[in-house]
Amino acid sequence: MFFGKAMPNHLEPAAPHFDAPPETAHTAEAFIAEKRIGERIRRLRLKRSMGLVELGRLTGLSASFLSQLETGRVVPTLRNLARIAMVFGRDLSYFFEPEPHPLFRLHRRSERVRLPQSGVDHPTYYFESLAWMVPERQLDPYYAEFLPVATAAEVRPHVHPGYEFLYVLQGELEIKHGERTHSLQIGDSVYFDAGTSHAYRCTGEQPAVALIVTMHQIMPQLAMGPRLAAAPRTAAPTSESGA
């Protein structure tokens, strides 16, 4: 993924229809409109929460030119598209392939698989992935059930990159985050940095049930280098990563 120095502005070419035969320019414009390339660029930019000025800095193209490109008022060259594609970690072919359908995955309750906590002889919780069929997902939601444990029993803490959100649906749950311990009741929720050691304990006589969402994030200091290898997106978190 390209996040290096901005490319020089002198490489910004004009739209090809300025010096191309009228019939060639018309064909190019029709092709660009058909592939909705401007809309694809805009979606990539907004998905990254990136402004036109920032995209211009990274590509060497002016913000005004990019604005016209997104609205279909100019026809880009392949060189321009290649520069934009590099910024978003895409291949040039992305702009010419059939447009993918918006992501939508339905998971029926009957299709979920209940799995135990891994890495321990006596699991203290079970969980079910709520998004196991979603490719390249940026967050992982789970339905988790925590079993009552003895007060003196050891509950293994764990850490993983990104953030975690938990909402208590049923029972009483205790969460230890770093050196601090908090008690949670039905309706309570917590959002925290999962890079800090954390552990859960069911403190009631009945199992506690919670909705857990883990959110992945690339560390800022590594944003300009190669992408981190994505953590395994298995159907369930492990004792080292996940709920």
Could you tell me where in the chain the CATH 2.60.120.10 domains are found? 109-222
Q: What would be the CATH architecture of the domain defined by 9-95?
A: Orthogonal Bundle (1.10)
CB-based contact 228:220 (threshold 8 Å): no
pLDDT bracket for residue 22 (50, 70, 90) = very low
Over residues 37-63, the pLDDT tens digits come to: 888 899 899 988 999 999 999 999 999
Q: Of 15-24, 173-182, 213-222, where does mean pLDDT reach its minimum?
A: 15-24
Beta-bridge partners for 146: 125, 208
CATH dotted code for 109-222: 2.60.120.10
Task: Centre a 10 Å sphere on the Cβ of residue 29 and count the other Cβ atoms it contains.
Answer: 17
Could you tell me where in the chain the CATH 1.10.260.40 domains are found? 9-95
Which two tokens mark 32? 């660009």
Class of residue 148 by CB neighbours under 10 A (exposed 0-12, middle 13-18, buried 19+):
middle
H helix or E strand, kind and range, residue 139? strand 139-146
Separation between Cα atoms, residue 155 and residue 100, nearest integer Å: 44
**What are the start-end ranges of the E strands in 98-207?**
115-116, 125-129, 139-146, 163-170, 173-177, 180-184, 189-193, 198-202
Which span out of 48-52, 214-218, 220-224 was modeled with the highest average pLDDT?
Answer: 48-52
Q: Is the model more confident about 67 or about 105?
A: 67
The predicted structure's pLDDT at residue 97 = 79
pLDDT bracket for residue 136 (50, 70, 90) = confident
Which two tokens mark 95? 């702009």
Q: Is the model more confident about 241 or about 28?
A: 28
